[in-house]
Amino acid sequence: MASHYPYNMTIASLRKAYAEGDLTPARVLRDIRERAAEFESHNIWIHLLSESEIDEYLQRLQHMDPVEYPLWGIPFAIKDNIDLAGISTTAACEAFAYTPQKSAKVVDRLIAAGAVPVGKTNLDQFATGLNGTRSPWGACKNAFDPEYISGGSSSGSAVAVALGLACFSLGTDTAGSGRVPACFNNLIGLKPTRGLLSTDGLVPACRSLDCITIFAYDTNDADLVLSIAEAYDPGDAYSRSNPYHNQKRNYGVREGKLKFGVIPDNQLNFFGDRQYEQAYRATLERLELDGIELLEIDYEPFADAAKLLYEGPWVAERYLAIQPLIDTDPEAIFPVVRDIIAPGKTLTATALFQAQYRLNALKQNCDRQMAGLDALLTPTAGTCFTIRQMLEQPVLRNSQLGYYTNFMNLLDLSSIAVPTQITPGGLPFGITLVGSAFSDRALLSIANRIHNCFDLKSGASQFDSEPAPVAAVGVRDKIDIVVCGAHLQGLPLNWQLTERGATLVEKTKTEPVYRMYALAGGPPDRPGLILDEQHGAAIDVEVWSMPASQYGSFVEGIPAPLGIGKIRLANGSLTSGFICEPYAIADALEITQFQAWRSYLDR
């Protein structure tokens, strides 16, 4: 390992040390500044806060109860395209620099929860790159081997955490910048749904696609930071409200069967890196041992969408973000960054609409393939280059780094990078889990389970990665419902399920504890189930899975005497389904002996 931490830097560990009096925030921040000097050659920082600059934050902690403030005294790093009040924001370009009077909304929320900023981190200039070498402050070096790239553009943010100079950090992600550095430095890299975190106070790369991201040691820390940072922001035109199923209470460790989409061998690309390829295959083998089903998908539409980011008109957004500077002083911009952004000036509206038409067609294909999967699983990156290799072919190799990442924001997907292996050469490798928009907590819960499958350290430290236990969770964006009568497949009311997007999960039986009656009224004819543990029978039923957003309207339409309760199924589970109020059986015909509504209809 590259760094021996003086103590465990996970949020839970540091808060425990504070509570027990073993450490103080002042001591931790002093140690960080001293250790930062040891890694000066890694080019992590653009501005490391001085003792006097940090003191104002430490003074604030004296008036805050550590119990009430979940990030009390927790040091964090900020990518230098995100504003911190009173500290210059450079986006890794001195000619662009300005000093903001207020912090970015996300930064404000973290500081309000007790977090202490350590400094502003190095990045690929204007967040244009996935490698970490495109900065006048020098190439940011990998935490495990300084000959290798750190990944970018959020290079310093990842390396700061990996080397124990922060408990977590903020990065950004337009093309993969919150995931590739996580992979190369053995970290969790959370790229939230677009708009879940406010981008107020962020220097845009592509404003319509940008996300602020989180680097952390484990999913518990990532979820905690997300829960504090997230909020709808009416001042951000791209902000979006978080639905119930994606709230913090739905985070835990995912249990049960899982289905992942994986890329066929003929569409994988490791660019000649045998160690990364072997690490990927070893990861899949371990996941299959954990009971995870792997199903091949067609990656071509995802790869085609990825090409649109840099080969299509979205480069114009990068040009707009720095237009005054590139128009008046182009020589102030890092050469390879200037060469990428400059063509955005001449792109046309017709090119944009043509690309949008193409993107929508690709998205339709991709969404269809992801339906029914718990996640799409990809390598986070196909290889990790040395800094020398990167500088030899900066455009080609940067494009190769984005092979598995560039499609994400264009297709409005959420994702999380999860470390899984250390190669024989000593470099970290990891996978990325991909889900639909607002599946962040579901992905975090799955990532929690996966991360625990692998024997890894925290970042580049000597400490084992051991996230604190959390509750088990299941799928929250869909609800299973048991039907036994007119809603069965092919019967008159089945449309009430199918038109709401429900899908058949299984045909099964109840426990032998129900009596069934043919109720008065209709059409259509309907049965009613009454619990009777002494004289009941096992009744044929179907289990359907319905989008949670449609469940309320379905239940609202159920007429008396029927309602929704918990049905005891043959496998011992309790699942929501149709029950009947006892008063209704007074004038109903008992048909328990048929043990199935279809058998009664076919009598």
Q: Name which of 2, 338, 332 is nearest 141 in CA terms.
A: 2
Say which amino acid occupies 95: A
Q: Whole-angstrom Cα distance, residue 582 to residue 12?
A: 51
Q: Which residues are catalytic?
A: 79, 153, 177
What's the pLDDT band for 202 if we cut at 50, 70, 90? very high
Q: Where does 478-601 sit in CATH, by number? A: 3.10.490.10
So what's the pLDDT on residue 521? 86
**Structural domain boundaries in the chain:** 11-473, 478-601
Question: Quick check: 1 pLDDT over 60?
Answer: no
Identify whether the C-beta of residue 91 lies closer than 8 Å to the C-beta of residue 123. Answer: yes
So what's the pLDDT on residue 478? 83
Q: Whole-angstrom Cα distance, residue 560 to residue 581?
A: 8
Q: Give 344-384 as a 3 state SS string.
A: HHHCCHHHHHHHHHHHHHHHHHHHHHHCCCCEEEEECCCCC
Question: Quick check: 599 pLDDT over 90?
Answer: yes
At 221-259, the pLDDT tens digits run: 999 999 999 999 999 999 999 998 899 999 999 998 999
For residue 41, what is the DSSP state?
A: G
Range ranked top by mean pLDDT from 120-124, 369-373, 518-522: 120-124
The kind and range of the H/E element at 167 are none
Identify whether the C-beta of residue 223 lies closer than 8 Å to the C-beta of residue 444. Answer: yes
DSSP 411-452: TTEEEEEEEEEE-TTS-EEEEEEEEETT-HHHHHHHHHHHHT
Q: Name which of 190, 199, 201 is nearest 240 in CA terms.
A: 199
So what's the pLDDT on residue 2? 58
So what's the pLDDT on residue 272? 97
What's the pLDDT band for 414 if we cut at 50, 70, 90? very high
Question: Quick check: 451 pLDDT over 70?
Answer: yes
At 62-97, the pLDDT tens digits run: 999 999 999 999 999 999 999 999 999 999 999 999
φ, ψ (nearest 5 deg) of residue 596: -165, 135
The predicted model gives 186-213 an average pLDDT of: 97
Question: Quick check: 515 pLDDT over 80?
Answer: yes
Would you identify the CATH topology of the domain 11-473?
Answer: Amidase signature (AS) enzymes (3.90.1300)
Whole-number average pLDDT of the chain? 95
Among 11-20, 489-498, 514-523, the range scoring the smallest mean pLDDT is: 514-523
The predicted model gives 263-275 an average pLDDT of: 98
Q: How many CB atoms lie within 10 A of CB 110?
A: 23
Rg (CA), the chain: 27
Structure tokens at 430: 């990891």
At 388-407, the pLDDT tens digits run: 999 999 999 999 999 999 99
DSSP 3-state of 82? strand
Structure tokens at 126: 């204007």
Question: Quick check: 168 pLDDT over 80?
Answer: yes
Q: Is the dihedral of CA 180, 399, 371, 281 positive or negative?
A: negative
Tabulate helix, strand, coil % of the chain (nearest 5): 35, 20, 45
What's the pLDDT band for 310 if we cut at 50, 70, 90? confident
Q: Whole-angstrom Cα distance, residue 566 to residue 110?
A: 41
Comparing 471 with 275, the larger pLDDT belongs to: 275
At 458-502, the pLDDT tens digits run: 999 999 988 778 888 876 678 999 999 999 999 999 999 999 999
Name 505's Cβ contacts closer than 8 Å, sequence gap at least 6: 480, 542, 543, 544, 545
Q: How far is the first Cα of the chain from the last one, in angstroms, to the nearest whole number?
A: 73
